[in-house]
Chains A and B, each alone.
Chain A
Amino acid sequence: MGGEPGRKALDAALEDAPGARGRAPRRRWPQALGSYALTLLALVTLNFLLPRAMPGDPIEALAAEGSGGFTFGEQSRQALEEYYGLDGSLLEQYGSYLGRLARGDLGRSIATLAPVRDEISRRLPWTILLVGGSLLLATGIGLLTGVHAGWRRDRPLDRTLLTVLLAVRELPTFLLGSLLLFLFAVKLEWLPLAGAQDTFGSFGPVGKVVDIGRHLLLPLVVLGLGLAVGTYLVMRAGMVTQLGSDHLLLGQAKGLGQRRLKYRYAARNALLPVVSLAALQLGFAITGDVLVERVFTYPGLGRLLFDSLTARDYPVIQGVFLVVSVTVVTVNALADGLYRRLDPRTVA
């Protein structure tokens, strides 16, 4: 056996061992910022190129939308291109786009001539309400169901949830949306059919909130349910993995109660992948938002994006893409930070 001197020597050695010497330094700020800036530049470039890669262009779309059979002559077309700043080479256009962007100018819509900034800021609150709300709803439902189902794996509750939620996920958004609309708005007439608020009603502050809530409910549920399934599956899988873990067994041997083991031990550990997922979910949520806003005629960014895509309205498409990509990058950065706070192992 080692004996006292051996132990002392070992202790000294352990103190000097790398892993034992407290935490490694954090990743430096400039480095992190630099990588995010690079990501953003790549996104801006893609946002500029993608709309232009679609067949057709805004001028053609204008013509199609206007009086039937009206066609441009070569000269008027050139004049229009010049007017909308579409006349230069791709590189020139890109340069001037970056230049204006640097000054905070998003340009004007080709279809409506309104400043893109106004078009976006008018609709952004509705989308924040819808997407943000459904992400919260999805995370809430997903966590709750995932924790309980995973903890009672293979019991009736778990089996039921698994079947029902997987079935919900397989329903296309527009189908689920139309079904709910038909049921609650057309048949039962409990909820409004379209829009975000009642334009003609005059409400007090409380009435206004209720009105907005009633309009929000169905789109929120349709968008949220689909997202909740992802969170639920990841959380459930995490809990199931935790069930057999050694630290849970030690917790049990310490005499800890079920509640503490379930939440402080199992759920807390299973939560980590959900944080990463939540940031990814934002991307899915925005995709879903475009569809849901179509179905419910909701006046948010999704509708704006859909309309501007149809009109090949480059400045608006770029503007919406920009807002979306900046948001996604920011949220991912936040999730990164949150993850670091939640898991001490990622700090080193």
Chain B
Amino acid sequence: MGFWPFSRKPSKDVAKQRLQVILKYDRAGLPPNSVEALKNAILNALKDFPFVDVSGVKINFPQNEREEKIELEIPVKADK
């Protein structure tokens, strides 16, 4: 039972999500929002390729490892 009925997700999940992003930036010494900017630039470039499902492009931070790495997930449209 939470203080906020029904709606809110546990604050610890928010903390975990935020920390995973913060630590990626900290470890790699990246300036704030630089990954967001990278993602936007990639999205722009991907618009020229019709087989790419742009709405499904994801940037992932692999967890559970201290390696400095960003993963890019580019889904391909199945019906092409």
Chains A and B belong together in one complex: no
